[in-house]
Structure 1
């Protein structure tokens, strides 16, 4: 029994993955220990038997502190550490530190992490086992001249990639030789900043690429199997958004072939535990998968594999870490039905997918969300959780399982419709719209689809019925009711309704409430007459009125009240997202040109540059290193004519 293998397991992670691991530990009767930074708003620790504080401060002093994690395991008597994903999960030094402390690391040997953590050495390792890699030039220490010469041999377009790290950082597509020098310089800067290593290599860019990965399991007795593949082609800026299992592209023969290549990849480094081998596949040549990289850990999207195979991957990690041989042979693996996962991010698709933040004020998950009815939710938030910029913007995953892909798509759409997260702008509405795209419904996917079509899919202004619901709420937006009418619409001569002015994208919408109907007049002159609805969750806050519908959660704002008797306002640069000011490109009092960079804000792996809206004199209102909120004024520019 697993409960006899380990009495206590410490989970060196947070959020939804920590809660998910705790669920399996609880089912197996294993005492669970959480670690938690004092300023971490995630309620993941509530699922654990014991919680150890890591103190407060930056990540290097909490979740990335090997010394504190090891000490927490010693203090609580934990015999094993599960690293989850991210943080220390693919850190060879951490795996070695666990071994040195006599604590079982629930992952592969440090040597496997080191080899697969360097994409150049990983290519060489898998090539030795006959696994195909993307044609390219990949040797340690290549300078720009060697890379430029190699790109000519490989043929354009090419993809510049850093040898270390992942997540799309430092990756650049280059279509012609003239653009290569500047792209190499940018890639080196980004790789050095993100990973502390500016080593680069170049691969041929695969046209119409699909991202397909294979789940593998390996034990310490030489047994290696695969559990089928996952399609992860729907991604934005190399970050996955929708994943599914199995892939709608592959035939059974192609599935067996790519699975065999994944097994050989695992064998090439003596792999032990659960891991994922990622391949790039041309849509018109699915029989020729190219190895891309191996993630030496559990993946975010592992639930879709669990739902189609019935295998609890965390349980398998526990058993393998305890020295048990795999109880599952390759012939025992059967894929049943189809599963699709949608990642809910704290981001605003209508604002270029910029990270958002705020406090979760109200939260509703699908009624049947425990996996037994075909819907599963892995989340890391609760009512009152403050979503900030210190951690990853993914706050939940909604997964649907059904007998067919079409049925799974419909079930997932329905589950997202039942989900409501008020207080934080998320991509929930975008996810439903994405699932409705004809190409997505048909399984005609590629990794560039969202980057090409995302702006179009996300360009949905606040629906008229949502504006009407916000305006019709008797207590909503009272300071912005126009005229001398009472909130109930009564005045001398009879009830004539009330009018409210609301933000509508870049313009304003006027909403007239007339009993059981509303008239919405848009800034562009469009007029909609809609029935007054009061059946959706509505929540009033200082920021505005939150309205939740099947199509998304909307923050309906009133415009600022007009200030009388003052001169024109100075152009203001407000932070588009919560984050940290990482650079000031101009000094306080400088004269700046229109379009000149003023400050840069970074949050959740994204950096945004704010530029002068007009030429003039700049005044800075935030310092480098300062934590700022969404909408906070960072600088103002006094126009040249005003200054004169």
Structure 2
């Protein structure tokens, strides 16, 4: 084993690897950008080295700065985690040149599998089935259009150089193809520095199933069963589980052999994942790609099999023989990814400061969350992973749902309520999964309404905070001999309180009590976690959170609903990539005006109505805040 290892990453994966190093008595070296100076992985490591400003390209994507940090601290090896430089061939070779062990596969294996075109040609030669399509290098836009005509719609555009759903576009008709190609190339260029695309037939009713492999430097390769990753949105995995409810033992063994053959075809060493798409109609499976690194969802396999993948990464990288054979899962495990995003606003990235935190203790939580953490737009919005295990699939699902119900993150809007709704879906519980399930059922999975009790809770908390003050200084609610109504303005809703009577908006009166107990707000029989930031009160219960703005004003909110005239605002904090219109242009409702990017996600901002652009307030490359006005549309006069 090594004496000292540098972890070339951040967030929950850096925390997970550092804790593994601690178990083995290995000195850990963290690297951090200015944005992560107070991050949990920095605090946990034995040594921490600043490598640059917040921008990833000047810090976590700088191979030179990371290698300099390893040299300065006497690290013998580098663990890349996932993302950033984990699958960067030049970085792996630079580590080797610097005398550092890269805790991952050989650079040639990364190179072979990192290019999806070359990867498909390689595994096809090894007898592994691949998705029908065209995987030629250097295809032009016209080539891709011609290929789509040959393959038949729907088709899937995929960047050759990367994964994680970045730059992927599903296209259903020829008329949308060229715009999709332009967008896919732009996102691929920004995410991977390479805009090469390939095109595949889109498999109907597809299931995304991947096989975990381990290989040592002595020629032995084994598989540890599969993970079902079919619950996705925008090609980004949301909930993963092992084993898959679909596979029979015979199919599992066949896919396992295919994954081992794929790994052997490139001389693979270390932990890796071979991803397959399974046709839900026929049961046929096809190779998609190989991820030459640890996967985000690796804890699912660890809990299902009892094998510590990071431990074996360390052992294999230090030259040990693999002492495992093919492993069958003994338990069932399910993982949910907690993101800083708002499902009610189209899953746009959010941000903020973590004001209060509770992570469930009876399940595994891989997290870098801590009170005071500032969640910005510089990096991926994933905050944590919650993983539950059970003797059966039903038990694992139930334990995960209960754990998410107990998780509290106040100060940052997350997708936890959406995760719980997905876990309660009848098809999910029955194991009837495919990669389109989430999109089809989205309306039933996303809740935007605020219960009257929550509005009442905010008003009652405000009322309770005034108890004990001079009654003559209160803004109402006290009269000689009786209580009077006090009206509080919460998120542009009038909440009237008189004693234990509450009226929300134009609703009927109801009775409710509230008191603060150990920092929580107990309203009736429900207990809310509570935190305050200025005039915003955060409440959390049952996995849901609400950020309630107490304006104390009667004016309507300045925020306009989608589809109304007036200011066109940024849906998220980020960078304006494209400006498609100029002041004075006539626009139509739904016309694309801007493309805003944040946390590796692009969002097109459209005109809310037919009209004239009276103002355009931003330019390409400009940083914008959430709800910042980008332009003003003046409707055409009737």
**TM-score, L = length of structure 2:** 0.89
The C-alpha deviation readout for 1:389-438, integer Å capped at 9, x for no partner, is 00000011111111111111111111111111111111111111111111
Indicate if the aligned counterparts of 1:211 and 1:231 stay in contact, CA closer than 8 A.
Answer: yes
Q: Which residue of 2 aligns with 1:343?
A: 337
Going from structure 1 to structure 2, the CA distance change for 1:532 and 1:626 (only over 3 Å counts) comes to farther
* Residues 518 and 532, structure 1, Cα contact 8 Å, conserved in 2: no
Give the equivalent residue in structure 2 for 1:421: 409
Answering whether residue 599 of structure 2 is matched by residue 607 of structure 1, we say no
Question: What is the aligned counterpart of 2:374 among 386, 408, 429?
Answer: 386
SS at match of 1:274: strand
For 1:500, the equivalent position in structure 2 comes to: 488
Stretch moving more, 378-387 or 611-620: 611-620
Residue 583 of structure 1 deviates from its aligned partner by 3.6
Question: How far apart in 1 are the matches of 2:211 and 2:375?
Answer: 32
Q: Does residue 255 of the first structure (1) align with residue 252 of the second (2)?
A: yes
2:440 to 452, 464, 467: 452
1:244 aligned to 241, 254, 265, which one? 241
Structure 1: gaps (5+ residues): 479-483
Q: Distance in 2 between matches of 1:150 and 1:617?
A: 39
Q: Per-residue deviation at 1:188?
A: 3.9
Residues 476 and 458 (structure 1 numbering): CA distance in 2 closer, same or farther, change over 3 Å? Answer: farther
Match of 1:403 in 2: 391
Tell me, yes or no, if the aligned pair for 1:159 and 1:171 is still in contact at 8 Å.
Answer: yes
2:533 corresponds, among 536, 541, 544, to 541
**CA displacement at 1:225 relative to structure 2:** 0.5
* Structure 1 residues 196-595: aligned runs within 5 Å: 196-286=193-283, 288-330=284-326, 333-366=327-360, 368=361, 373=362, 375-474=363-462, 486=474, 489-492=477-480, 494-503=482-491, 508-516=492-500, 518-521=502-505, 527=508, 529=510, 531-533=512-514, 534=522, 535-558=527-550, 561=553, 571-586=566-581, 590=584, 593=587, 595=589
Q: Does 1:107 align with 2:104?
A: yes
Looking at structure 2, the residues matched to 44 and 562 of structure 1 have their Cα atoms a distance apart, in angstroms, of: 45
| Distance in 2 (alpha carbons) for counterparts of 1:289 and 1:64 | 35
State the shift of 1:462 in Å. 1.0
Alpha-carbon distance change, 357 to 493 in structure 1, aligned in 2, over 3 angstroms: same
2:50 counterpart of 1:53: yes
Q: CA deviation at 1:601?
A: 2.6
Match for residue 519 of structure 2?
none
Quick check: 1:616–1:638 contact (8 Å CA) kept in 2? yes
Establish whether residue 629 from structure 1 lines up as the match of residue 625 from structure 2.
Answer: yes
- What secondary structure, in the 3-state scheme, does the structure 1 residue paired with 2:399 have? helix
* Residues 452 and 134 of structure 1: CA distance in aligned 2, closer, same or farther (over 3 Å): same
How far apart are 1:325 and its partner, in Å? Answer: 0.7
Q: Distance in 2 between matches of 1:517 and 1:208?
A: 52
CA distance in 1 between counterparts of 2:119 and 2:592 reads 39
Q: Offset of 1:284 from its aligned partner? A: 3.2
Shift of 1:134: 1.0
Instruction: Answer whether contact 1:244 1:341 (CA < 8 A) is retained.
Output: yes
2:127 is paired with a residue whose SS is coil
In the alignment, the residues of structure 2 paired with residue 487 and residue 235 of structure 1 have an alpha-carbon distance, to the nearest angstrom, of: 50
C-alpha distance in 1, partners of 2:462/2:490? 15
Does structure 1 retain, via aligned residues, the 8 Å contact 2:406–2:543? no
Q: Is the 8 A contact 1:510 1:521 kept in 2?
A: yes
2:41 aligned partner: 44
Does the Cα contact within 8 Å between 1:485 and 1:498 map onto a contact in 2? Answer: no
Partners of 1:583 and 1:200 lie apart in 2 by 21
Aligned residues: 612
For the structure 1 residues 464 and 299, does the alpha-carbon distance in structure 2 shift closer, same or farther, using more than 3 Å as the test? same
Q: Which residue of 2 aligns with 1:18?
A: 14
Structure 1 residues 625 and 329, CA, compared in 2 at 3 Å: closer, same or farther? same
Q: 1:517 to 1:475 in 2, by over 3 A?
A: closer
Residues 579 and 595 of structure 2 are in contact (CA less than 8 Å); yes or no, is this contact kept in structure 1? Answer: yes
The root-mean-square deviation of aligned C-alpha atoms, in Å, is 2.7
Structure 2: gaps (5+ residues): 467-471, 515-521
Q: Are 2:74 and 1:77 equivalent residues in the alignment?
A: yes
Tell me, yes or no, if the aligned pair for 1:6 and 1:30 is still in contact at 8 Å.
yes
Q: Secondary structure at the match of 1:207?
A: coil
Residues of 2 paired with 1:576 and 1:144: CA distance? Answer: 30
Distance in 1 separating the partners of 2:222 and 2:613: 64
Partner of 1:481: none
